[in-house]
Amino acid sequence: AFRGFGGPQGLLVCEVWLDHLATDLNMAPEEVRKRNLYAFDGDVTHFHQTLDRCPVQRMWKELSDSSELARRMADVTIFNAANRWRKRGISMLPTKFGISFTAKFMNQGAALVHIYTDGTVLVTHGGTEMGQGLHTKMQQVTARALGIPVGDVHIRETSTDTVPNSSPTAASASSDMYGMAILNACEQIMARLTPYVKKAEGDFKKAVNTAFFDRCDLSAHGFYKTPNIGYDWTLPDVERGRPFNYFTYGAACSEVEVDVLTGDMRILRADLLMDVGNSLNPAIDIGQVEGAFTQGVGWTMIEETVWGCDEFPWLKPGACHTRGPGNYKIPSFNDTPVDMRVSLLKDSENCLAIHSSRAIGEPPLFLGASAFFAARSAIASARADAGLTGHFTVSTPLTPERIRMACGDALASKFAATCMQRSRPSAFV
């Protein structure tokens, strides 16, 4: 269970189907993807949920233009024709990620808000801060609801003695649920406090003091449950319901260069575009996109697990060799794109979440797979030079070893049969 909880793996398989189809049709995969994008309104998913205000066609066009996809594809073709042992590839992918727990009972959140007589506010909610900026966003929601500076809002660490029975901080839904719960609590307090604020001519601290001496309750418990969702597998297809409250969309265009002789790969440029609605905090959201992309590159290109098997007789059968940073490699400085450009889609309000925002945690991870498909394209050029055409299979993670073996030249072909029959765990796509 990693960022996306199986979703990116399913998306990867589907994109390989499309890539295979494009190869057999002698078309660019990007053209096939473009022809099969969802419409703005009215298209229905395979689980019978109708899509409303889907921006993916607009995002595809905007990213195609801003990344100069057509020109760069032509440049890649020219480069590959002039170079035998260094190859480039470029790929553009869309993504769509449903937001909600598919277990309906988990789609609930609570919060506790206290206002003190000095005008400061203490907030506790059921979400866990793990570096993703959740607490910062909840401070902003509170400050906006009460009309006070963010610096006057303090977050207490999550604890079951203040907010019990919280759902896991997962499914990218925490900002939505706890933001709405905090808003609910703040609205309760402001309903009682507004007359005092008016009397104090907007002086929040003075209003709070007056309310306190007038025995007005300055605390509230807020609660939110995501409405209009739920999926019943026992019903006929069209009656099963809506598993997701809404979707977060994205697109990525990556260009890579591969050393055919060593399998070394670097990302020359990555253009990323995400739809986060009216972002609660653009700086945090851009950081989330950058981090998710990097993790996606690690998942598809770098992070290989090695277990004891027939290929590795020096390992105990079933023993994991890649147990720490000495053997398990994650993305590092050299794996960062030379040129990385991240944009957030404008004018795409989402009325189904707090302050018209969209969730951002898991959706961008799959964008890292654009580097994988760009590398596949570079490998295809190397294979064409070796006289090999048509669809081919490679495994994730597409490590330098696997890139080298897939290039199909005379040296690699001596070992290809053995390498393609390995028993180590991997995803064959």
Sequence-distant contacts of 193-197: CB under 8 A, at least 24 apart: 193/115, 193/218, 197/147
Handedness of CA 8, 9, 10, 15 (dihedral sign): positive
CA 101 to CA 231: how far, in whole Å?
A: 11
Which tokens go with 310? 């027939």
SS3 334: helix
CA 417 to CA 7: how far, in whole Å?
A: 31
Angle (CA) 49 51 56, round 5°: 135
Distant-in-sequence, close-in-space partners of 43: CB < 8 Å, separation ≥ 6: 50, 51, 54
Backbone φ and ψ for 172, nearest 5 degrees, come out as 60, 15
Q: Please state whether beta strands 395-396 and 339-344 pair in parallel, antiparallel, or not at all (unpaired).
A: unpaired
The catalytic position among 15, 255, 257, 362 is 362
Which tokens go with 224? 């939110």
- Is 255 assigned a catalytic role? no
CB contact burial 100-118 (16+ within 10 A = b; e otherwise): bbeebebbbbbbbbbbeee
Q: What is the pLDDT of residues 372-407, one digit of tens each?
A: 999 999 999 999 999 999 999 999 999 999 999 999
Digit-by-digit pLDDT tens for the chain (429 residues) are 579 989 999 999 999 999 999 999 999 999 999 999 999 999 999 999 999 999 999 999 999 999 999 999 999 999 999 999 999 999 999 999 999 999 999 999 999 999 999 999 999 999 999 999 999 999 999 999 999 999 999 999 999 999 999 999 999 999 999 999 999 999 999 999 999 999 999 999 999 999 999 999 999 999 999 999 999 999 998 899 999 999 999 999 999 999 999 999 999 999 999 999 999 999 999 999 999 999 999 999 999 988 888 877 888 998 999 998 888 999 999 999 999 999 999 999 999 999 999 999 999 999 999 999 999 999 999 999 999 999 999 999 999 999 999 999 888 887 766 655 555 555 545
Decide if 145 contacts 101 (C-beta within 8 A): no
CA 52 to CA 66: how far, in whole Å?
A: 25
Decide if 157 contacts 112 (C-beta within 8 A): no
CA 346 to CA 199: how far, in whole Å?
A: 39
* Cα 254 to Cα 43, 62, 382, 391, 397, distances in angstroms: 28, 15, 18, 21, 17
Backbone φ and ψ for 249, nearest 5 degrees, come out as -115, 155
Task: Tell how far CA 100 is from the center of its chain.
Answer: 14
* Cα 375 to Cα 23, 89, 94, 400, distances in angstroms: 15, 6, 17, 10
